[in-house]
Amino acid sequence: MVTAIIVIAAIPVIAATVLCYFANKTFARGGKVYELDEVLKDSPGQLDRIEEGKNELANMPFEKHSITSHDGLHLVGRLYRAEGETNKYIICMHGYRSSGEDFTCAMGFFMSQGYNVLSVDQRAHGGSEGKWITFGVKERYDALSWCNYLISAFGDGIKIILDGLSMGATTVLMASGLDLPDNVKGVIADCGFTSPWDIVTEVARRDMHIPKFPLLYLMIPTVKLLCGFGLKEASTIDAVKKSKLPILFVHGLADDFVPHEMSVLAYNSRPENSRLVSVENATHGMSFVVDEERCKKELSYFLNEATEKGHF
């Protein structure tokens, strides 16, 4: 009887320990989880293109910039300047446990289109402070802060595009539903997930065969208490419905990490003034590398229409 009581009493403690472990493993600042060498081992041409982009980026001069987030974190970014004078800026938000190298292949293209590129370290990544990665929930306000910073630093006449890949795409899509300054002219979202809850439950189901009930539902209060945000607090679908900005969605049809359907759902929530580009044979974040010609064409058209005309 005593043993049974001890076991029963220990269940909540064990459950809490497991929940905190998974929350820390998923949301705490950490190392890379998406190893390109392994992912692209059967696609050496794509890996070579990415390495070429990294080498180009390493030789580009940049200026260091920093801001303080709405909740007191020191956030950093690198500003790469296009040739000549320009009032156009792209803010690039990288993916989960990644870096600005997510945009190595596109960086030179953006600059050739006359855009200065601000590549930021999202909170809890790189040189930016923060313990918890919040999957776009708090990062959306960081995107707003970076917009306001650029305007204060470079003038009221600048034009801004928000661009994100993977979790960065979720960040900029969620930011699109905020009260952004009129200087923000459009959003580019490459393979973003619809919400923290959606991607956590998708990965748990697909990779770990964990059903939503009861463990994942218990993650909701755990994450709120431990990490300070809600798994269901924000979604790209709700944000896009509110947004009036032109949006270009890009997603690989062979993405086995963030389902292509998540971009479809966000796009369908407000297809007006938006476009969805689905790239054949592209895995997660690889659309630009797999079909660079098509992506450049789509991006060039979007940038011109959004920045110069205010619609797409």
pTM for the full predicted model: 0.94
Task: Check: CB of residue 268 under 8 Å from CB of residue 148.
Answer: no
Task: Check: CB of residue 75 under 8 Å from CB of residue 66.
Answer: yes
Does position 148 have pLDDT exceeding 90, yes or no? yes
Does position 5 have pLDDT exceeding 90, yes or no? no
- Alpha helices (H) in 209-306, listed in sequence order: 217-227, 236-242, 260-268, 287-290, 292-304
Which residues, including other chains, have CB under 8 Å from residue 246's CB and lie 6 or more apart? 185, 186, 187, 273, 274, 302, 305, 306, 310, 311, 312
Where exactly are the structural domains of the chain?
Answer: 60-195+234-309
Tokens found for residue 135: 């999957």
CATH class of 60-195+234-309: alpha beta
The closest of 215, 219, 179 to 197, measured between CA atoms, is 219
Per-residue pLDDT of 238-270, as tens digits, reads 999 999 999 999 999 999 999 999 999 999 999
Q: Percent of the chain beyond pLDDT 70? A: 91
Task: Count CB atoms within 10 A of the CB of residue 214.
Answer: 9
Task: Check: CB of residue 185 under 8 Å from CB of residue 306.
Answer: yes
